[in-house]
Amino acid sequence: MNYEPLPELTNIEQLGEFALIYRLTKDLVIYNSSTQKGVGDDAAVLQFGDEYLVVTKDLLVEGVHFDVTYTPLTHLGYKSVAVNLSDIYAMNGVPTQIIIGLAVSSKYSVEALEDIYEGINAACKKYKVDLVGGDTTAIPSGLTISITAIGRVEKHRITYRRGAKVGDLICVSGSLGGAYCGLLVLQREKVAFMGNSATQPDLTPYTFVVERQLKPEPRRDITLQLLERDIIPTSMIDVSDGLASEILHLCKNSNKGAVVYEEHLPIDSRMATVAHEFEIDPATCALSGGEDYELLFTVSQSDYEKVKDMENISIIGHIKQVGKGANLITSSGQKVKLTSMGWDGLKLKRT
């Protein structure tokens, strides 16, 4: 009897997060005219009267996105909201509501869950967002937090990943690489603690980078500045997976190339000190480190005078034709191809 050989199966980790999303969604059909934008941006965009409704979801899974050994549960609750609001701001929108899904194992007490909700409530209070519902269930082990964020944006101000034009300026908020360096510190101190639990780590010298990792702040202030100066970015994305990765996303969605200058990367001296301690080039942390949740956006050159003096904004390069590729010009003048080296939730684990 002859048997057909079983088809070779593809390993999810081998495929990677973004390739997996494309493979699972490439044949999706939009059935409702109210869906203005589906899969492929920081948030979905839905028709809602005179405005657009923007909706996004993020998962935080224990052992993949966080380690409770060094993550205070209050901070975890705060961060779970912050990372979702960041996606709304990346669409140039204003977040208004969140819905929570919580899957929790028996190792967590009621008091532990109250700590998580304390952080969630603190983020809601700061960003004026309403918690309007959700679901809670038991799981065999660990903890998973799933949050859906809802926001709104005027139709003429909606900003997608697509839309960048040749000559547009590439801008980014804040500083980069701090969250990654904070993770390195926390992981190192965890190893030391596990070896000698009687010794408590002193994280005081690393306050800046540790806070960048444990308690990121979405950049509502940047979208407010853009509104005040009447600037509508031609494209925008939040920096959750590393600057290089996000630039490549903008280039792919806009069908353009880019050039970025190393000397213009926003590098905080406190991050650089930690990077050197781990014998890593600070520029590498800025380009490839994830979870900074800054805003990366492009603007027309006609908006240069408006954007050049914006607080906490750096102009790091410009958009080029697609055939030019996406490249970094190093401080020594070398041209290096940008590659995606940032966070991939299907490949990396917090250990």
pLDDT tens profile 184-240:
999 999 998 887 777 788 899 999 999 999 999 999 999 999 999 999 999 999 999
- Which residues neighbour 64 within 8 Å (Cβ) at sequence distance 6 or greater? 345, 348, 349, 350
| Segment 294-318, tens digit of pLDDT | 999 999 999 999 999 999 999 999 9
Q: So what's the pLDDT on residue 202?
A: 87
**Domain spans of the chain?**
32-157, 169-337
Pick from 305, 317, 230: which is nearest to 265 by CA? 317
How many whole angstroms separate alpha carbon 40 and alpha carbon 21? 9
- For 294, the 3-state DSSP assignment is strand
Where does residue 131 rank: exposed (0-12), middle (13-18), buried (19+ CB within 10 A)?
A: middle
What is the C-alpha to C-alpha distance for residues 145 and 326, in angstroms, rounded to an integer?
35
Q: What is the pTM of this model?
A: 0.87
CB–CB of 46/52 below 8 Å?
yes
Architecture of domain 32-157 in this structure = 2-Layer Sandwich (3.30)
Total Cβ atoms within 10 A of residue 322: 15
- H runs (alpha helix) in 16-133: 17-25, 73-89, 110-127
Considering only 113-127, 182-196, 243-257, 316-330, which range has the smallest mean pLDDT? 182-196
Given a contact cutoff of 8 angstroms between Cβ atoms, the answer to whether 103 and 137 are in contact is yes
148, with CB counted inside 10 A (0-12, 13-18, 19+), is: middle
Residue 8: which pLDDT band, with cuts at 50, 70 and 90? confident
3-state secondary structure of 168: coil
The CATH class of 169-337 is: alpha beta
